Structure 1
Amino acid sequence: MKCLACDFGGSSVKYALVDDQAQMEESGKLPAPLDSAEQYVDTVGRLYDEYRNRIEGIAISMPGYINPENGYLSDAGAYMQLYGNSIIDLLKNRCPIPIAVENDGKCAALAEAWKGSLAGCKNAVALVLGSGIAGGIIKDGKIHSGRDFAAGELSYLITDPTKHNELGCAYMSAAMHGLTYRVCKAKNIDLAVQDAASILKWLDENIRMPYVEPDRELKKIKADGISIFQWLSEGDTDILSIYRNFIRTLAQVVHSVQLCFAPEKISIGGGLSLQKRIFRDLEDELQSYYQGMRLGRQLHATIVKSRYLNECNLVGAMYNYLLHFGYS
């Protein structure tokens, strides 16, 4: 069997046809439909129209507190216009086939536990470094949802207690929305021309982090992952400072997860996981903690690279669909 899998992120929606053996084909990417529920439904509907004769269902991964039984999204994540709605109910008239929905971090954990880097683990965690930091917890071989389906929302870990707003949270230092925001402010780059500009401008209204050179004209260039890591490789000192903070924050997240849950492995995926240096630098940062605090091996995290990297949510959405509709 085959489904249309959609991974709704804060900057874009990735899609692919995925079968029951985790094989993907015809993948693509569209702008994130962040403006309204109607725009969201239209985005899925147009994909459904294109593939309707080749699929049996639709499998969706997206941020937020989601009840996978009825698709109800209560809060959290970039799709604020959908809060208080069942994603399944929104889509069922436009796309009259079976639909399954699950949180993005939980989809990542499902993918890695199914056929990826966490296969065979009884207790494990998946981290997805995307627009935010999505987390998925495998407990006793099953997804741990927690109260109100909110387990794994690692974006909101406090990593800088001196800041009493979003700047004190992990996602503002160790995920793309926060990195982009900080880079734009440090390099006098216009927030309005970025992917997910509406989210960045909303953040700016709440944080009001000043530009380094407030009187200079803003540059109309993209500060995406490719640009940021290119500037880093060229030795840009502003970017290097932001990157060092990124690694420190990511190490804090990993170490906190390890101490609280003691998983066998922590898998790291998402778009930022495509940057190989992150894994080396993260291991070095963690080792400096372990040596400085003289921690025994029992408290060391075992970091593994996601098998599916920035496609883990698509694979996990498919596996959630198979579980939901009676996969054996």
Structure 2
Amino acid sequence: MYLVFDIGGTFIKYSLMNQHGKIIKKDKVASPKSCYDTFLQLFFSIIQIHRKDIIGIAMSCPGIIQPNNGEIKFGGSLRYLDGKNLIAEIWQAFQLPATIENDGKCAALAELWLGSIKGKQQAAVLVLGSGLGGGIIVNGQLLHGQHLLAGELSFVASEMDCTTGKGIYAGSVCSSVRMIQKVLVAKGEVAAGGERAFDHIQANDAEVMPIFDAYCLAIANQVMNLQYIFDPELIAIGGGISSQPMVITGIKKGIEKIKKMNPFHLASPQVVNCTFYNDANLYGAMYHYLVKNDLL
């Protein structure tokens, strides 16, 4: 078996998984907020508990990851990981082979392995969360790009003032966290959570539907951009809120609205839901390990 980690800003999720993608066991612990030594102590304690049952470790991690040597160039929401190399740390402590990949790219790999874009040569996965992440598949392979930035869609401009250079970026207008906060503020329920926000959306509440529709239109805009940039077969929508059926419906309506407003549009993106939601990064990290070690 393999020990698979999804390292996130809030939780470190982990599972025991076999080479066929079957999760045997999974759990999670809170991510340390500011100290690498505390993180490493916790991380190693999980590995030690499972050491006798595993033959390798696969990791999904936020930030910019160097695919050749596993160095975390930029730790994203966990800045204490900047410049660290967990593959080297694991080998030194446990003599176990390990792999690591960016979390958005792992979500794309999960869908490529066992999910909605399996068998596709050109595809994209958009992960809706605090920003807009994802991965791009070209010729059946994950695209990293020259500077490891392919799929970092949060930094794509949604609007730009060409006189000042100031812009509004996809990571802001496509943030599900911001959308949910706006809905709850509109209803005077700032202490409530995402489920309560979607109760109002499902009820077609007149106060919140303009917020939700604008959010879906912003995502639809990025879907259209991707379609023109590399013309994929499918674009899959993932992230926790994508399990809400009205999200994919809203995005499709947004695409139709964009096309209606500009009849010269040639693009007709094929948009589908991802197969995996909260476990996507675990599956993608496992697939990445298997590919890197020629086990598929």
TM-score, with structure 1 as normaliser: 0.80
Note the C-alpha offset of 1:47: 2.1
Aligned twin of 1:36: 35
SS of match in other structure, 1:310? coil
Note the C-alpha offset of 1:324: 1.4
Aligned twin of 1:157: 156
Matches within 5 A, 1:61-76: 61-75=60-74
Q: Measured at CA, do residues 241 and 15 of structure 1 come closer, stay the same or move farther in structure 2, by a change above 3 Å?
A: farther
**Matching residue's letter, 1:129:** L
SS of match in other structure, 1:85? coil
Match status 1:310 vs 2:282: no
Contact 1:266 1:301 in 2 (8 A): yes
Q: Measured at CA, do residues 288 and 180 of structure 1 come closer, stay the same or move farther in structure 2, by a change above 3 Å?
A: closer
Contact 2:75 2:81 in 1 (8 A): no
Note the C-alpha offset of 1:166: 10
Aligned twin of 1:260: 229
Q: Deviations over 1:130-163 (max 9, x none)?
A: 333212111111111102211110111222436x
Note the C-alpha offset of 1:50: 2.8
Contact 2:100 2:285 in 1 (8 A): yes
Aligned twin of 1:293: 262
Alignment size in residue pairs = 295
Give the Cα–Cα distance (whole angstroms) in 2 for the partners of residues 35 and 5 of structure 1. 23
Q: Unaligned regions of 5+ residues in structure 1, if any?
A: 190-218
Aligned twin of 1:247: 216
Q: Deviations over 1:265-319 (max 9, x none)?
A: 11111212111110111111101112222246x5111112112222221111001
Aligned twin of 1:108: 107
Contact 2:72 2:85 in 1 (8 A): yes
Q: Measured at CA, do residues 37 and 227 of structure 1 come closer, stay the same or move farther in structure 2, by a change above 3 Å?
A: farther
Contact 2:17 2:25 in 1 (8 A): no
Give the Cα–Cα distance (whole angstroms) in 2 for the partners of residues 168 and 156 of structure 1. 9
Matches within 5 A, 1:4-23: 4-23=3-22
Note the C-alpha offset of 1:239: 4.2
Aligned twin of 1:215: none
Give the Cα–Cα distance (whole angstroms) in 2 for the partners of residues 173 and 21 of structure 1. 37
Contact 1:8 1:62 in 2 (8 A): yes
> Once superposed, what is the RMSD of the aligned Cα atoms?
2.7
TM-score, with structure 2 as normaliser: 0.88
Aligned twin of 1:276: 245
Q: Measured at CA, do residues 5 and 166 of structure 1 come closer, stay the same or move farther in structure 2, by a change above 3 Å?
A: farther
**Matching residue's letter, 1:19:** N
Q: Measured at CA, do residues 11 and 175 of structure 1 come closer, stay the same or move farther in structure 2, by a change above 3 Å?
A: farther
Q: Measured at CA, do residues 86 and 165 of structure 1 come closer, stay the same or move farther in structure 2, by a change above 3 Å?
A: farther
Q: Measured at CA, do residues 92 and 312 of structure 1 come closer, stay the same or move farther in structure 2, by a change above 3 Å?
A: same
Q: Measured at CA, do residues 242 and 270 of structure 1 come closer, stay the same or move farther in structure 2, by a change above 3 Å?
A: same
Contact 2:111 2:117 in 1 (8 A): yes
Q: Deviations over 1:71-92 (max 9, x none)?
A: 1111262111211222323444
**Matching residue's letter, 2:251:** L
Q: Measured at CA, do residues 292 and 242 of structure 1 come closer, stay the same or move farther in structure 2, by a change above 3 Å?
A: closer
**Matching residue's letter, 2:171:** Y
SS of match in other structure, 2:160? coil
Contact 2:56 2:97 in 1 (8 A): yes
Contact 1:13 1:30 in 2 (8 A): yes
Contact 1:273 1:310 in 2 (8 A): no
Deviates more, 1:41-50 or 1:118-127: 41-50
Note the C-alpha offset of 1:8: 2.1
SS of match in other structure, 1:120? coil
Q: Deviations over 1:62-119 (max 9, x none)?
A: 2211112211111262111211222323444445421110011211221111221111
Give the Cα–Cα distance (whole angstroms) in 1 for the partners of residues 284 and 51 of structure 2. 21
Note the C-alpha offset of 1:43: 3.3
Of residues 222, 225, 229, the one that matches 2:198 is 229
SS of match in other structure, 1:301? coil
Q: Unaligned regions of 5+ residues in structure 2, if any?
A: none
**Matching residue's letter, 1:4:** L
